[in-house]
Amino acid sequence: MTTHTPDTADAMVDEIAALGTRLATARASIDRRFIGQEQVVELVLSALLCGGHALLIGLPGLGKTRLVDTLSTVMGLKGSRIQFTPDLMPADILGSEVLDTRDDGSRAFRFIEGPIFCQLLMADEINRASPRTQSALLQAMQEREVTVAGRHMPLGRPFHVLATQNPIEQEGTYPLPEAQLDRFLVQIAVEYPDRDTERDILLATTGATEAEVEPVFTADELLAAQALLRRMPVGESVVEAILDLVRACRPGGPEALPEVTAAVSWGPGPRAAQALMLTVRARALLDGRLVPSIEDVRALARPVLSHRMALGFAARARGEDLATLIDGVAARITHIEQAA
């Protein structure tokens, strides 16, 4: 576990407590416009606190766009939205150079920034665009900059992509490349609301007025929160649980579980372990705790690992489910760690 001097530790406790209060205010504000779906909100906020990107998967009409729009206001970020379509081109995302004629008659190229030059980018229905267009996001999501005509241009700070994806079974969708999936910190399933929640949604969204939200954070305050999260201590048992879980999910590896080797065609890389190290801290912070626990590892296994693994053909033919497999491996690994 990371060690701190008493004064430093006391200061960190105060900082974490203050941040927890701000986050509670932010969640309450989000809940006024995005009703229910507490786990979805928690995971998206976790992604922002970790400085990462999130992929929201669900059917159209479940409020994914509304959530991202609300987050942009509450977190004080400059937002931008791209509707992904089959005819969308990389220049529609990054921007392009145009030839300008100056007053003196000379000509020069001028770069017009695309919608990606923002702090919170909503990539709506990302899997409706072709792989060529999707690849325009790869450098931006990893390096927080884009290269156009040989020039490296930084994006906003912070920079986050919150992408929505329709189920791959729907018409007109393309599977996301594995390299792009790995750049998403978490994959979040957005399900149908229960009856009581849907009733609240009806009453809140079909009247003459709708609830307004106010900024709770600024961009600089979010950056400070991200820096604080990385200073949070993580116990050795949690680190070992993360390593055991990720390595157990790599088929054919020396630490892979037999059921994984039998069903999975490819498993998670080191980014998965990094994502778990960050998200367990965020979950603890949102829950008002100073340090993460092994239970956090178990709770975050599915959102962190499900898009970094794939079932083999034989497992799919047998009707096996990846989410169920991940839950089973996580429960087994964390139980062993807790018993130790």
Per-residue confidence (pLDDT) for residue 4, from 0 to 100: 57
CB within 8 Å of 196: residues ≥ 6 apart = none
Residues found in the chain: 340
pLDDT average, residue stretch 219-240: 93
pTM assigned to the model: 0.88
- Domain ranges (residues) in the chain: 1-85+120-131+155-230, 232-340
pLDDT average, residue stretch 210-228: 89
For domain 1-85+120-131+155-230, the CATH superfamily is: P-loop containing nucleotide triphosphate hydrolases (3.40.50.300)
Q: State the SS3 of 138-205.
A: HHHHHHCEEEECCEEEECCCCCEEEEEECCCCCCCCCCCCHHHHCCCCEEEECCCCCHHHHHHHHHHH
For residue 180, give both structure tokens.
């792009």
- The half-sphere exposure of 176 on its side-chain side, counting CA atoms within 13 A, is 29
* Residue 53 pLDDT > 90: yes
CB 64 within 8 A of CB 54: no
Task: Tell which CATH classification among 1.10.10.10, 3.40.950.10, 1.10.40.50, 1.10.8.80 matches the domain 232-340.
Answer: 1.10.8.80
pLDDT average, residue stretch 266-292: 93
DSSP summary character for residue 251: T
Q: Which of 251, 255, 247, 239 is nearest to 297 (CA)?
A: 239
DSSP letters for 306-331: GGG-EE-HHHHHTT--HHHHHHHHHH
Q: What is the pLDDT of residues 78-87, one digit of tens each?
A: 989 999 988 8
Alpha helices (H) in the chain, listed in sequence order: 6-33, 38-49, 64-74, 90-94, 131-134, 138-143, 178-181, 195-205, 219-231, 236-248, 258-263, 270-286, 294-305, 313-317, 322-339
Q: What is the pLDDT of residues 289-329, one digit of tens each?
A: 888 999 999 999 999 999 999 888 888 888 888 999 999 99
Q: Measured between alpha carbons, how far is 71 from 34 in angstroms, rounded to an integer?
A: 10
Per-residue confidence (pLDDT) for residue 151, from 0 to 100: 82
Per-residue confidence (pLDDT) for residue 5, from 0 to 100: 56
For residue 42, give both structure tokens.
């928690």
* Residue 8 pLDDT > 80: no
Per-residue confidence (pLDDT) for residue 97, from 0 to 100: 81
* Residue 255 pLDDT > 60: yes
- Per CATH, 1-85+120-131+155-230 and 232-340 having the same topology is answered no
Helix (H, G, I), strand (E, B) or coil at 268: coil
